[in-house]
Structure 1
């Protein structure tokens, strides 16, 4: 597996990966309804306020993470369904955390659905993230101290 920084040229790949997942699946139309479009994500990547990493196996993109520096917020971490259990998600989260840490973020946060069928809450707990309440939309809020 190889990790690399994403560029604006990778935005279609990010959407392809995001829309391929089966847990927490959202279509391009659903994402657009939330204001998440190719244009908005391109602006996010270009802004310099996001650490955006792509994981590749055999030269093929299989996952990505995005973390917003100014908010200390892990915005996304998605892995293609056929690539689970290979350490891709953990590597992407480590890259997001390290990017935030290098930028001076002391504590990061993220949110995810709480449905029992979702593996994400257990995955984040396994990586040392701590439950810290719920957001207004019912998602679990997790935090992690990045520096001591």
Structure 2
């Protein structure tokens, strides 16, 4: 498996992977309603965000994206047929290391507030701490996790 920094030419691939997941599925239309479009992702990647792509035999299978200004991991998405091969863990490590290298001491992310969700357990396994449920805004009801630089 190869992990590399995403380029602007990867944006369509990121959307393809994002819209093929099963857990936390959202269509392109639903994602666009949140203000996430190829154009906004391009702008993000040229400013305060970075994304990484996991590949097997040069084929993209997963990606992560982080925002240094917001001090957050925006998401990790893996093609369902290629889950449980270490891509999520490797991408999380890249995102965490990059955020902490930006002189950030505490980072955060949001996920569904259901301990039965695989993502919820995945973040716990990787040392993230749940700190509470978002109580307002478009992410209301999501669980906030934090991790502090060691």
TMscore range, shorter length: over 0.9
Unaligned runs of 5+ in 1: none
- Match of 2:109, SS state, is strand
Paired position in structure 1 for 2:32:
32
TM-score (norm 2): 0.94
Paired position in structure 2 for 1:43:
43
Alpha-carbon separation, structure 2, partners of 1:128 and 1:106: 15
In the comparison of the two structures, how many residue pairs are matched?
Answer: 146
Unaligned runs of 5+ in 2: none
Alpha-carbon separation, structure 2, partners of 1:10 and 1:83: 19
- Match of 1:53, SS state, is strand
Q: CA deviation at 1:116?
A: 5.2
Moved over 4 A (4+): none
RMSD of aligned Cα (Å): 1.0
Paired position in structure 2 for 1:16:
16
TM-score (norm 1): 0.95
Question: Out of 122, 141, 145, which is 1:142 matched to?
Answer: 145
Q: CA deviation at 1:29?
A: 0.4
For residues 54-82 of structure 1, give each alpha carbon's deviation from its aligned partner in whole angstroms, at most 9, with x where no partner exists: 10011100111111011111011111101
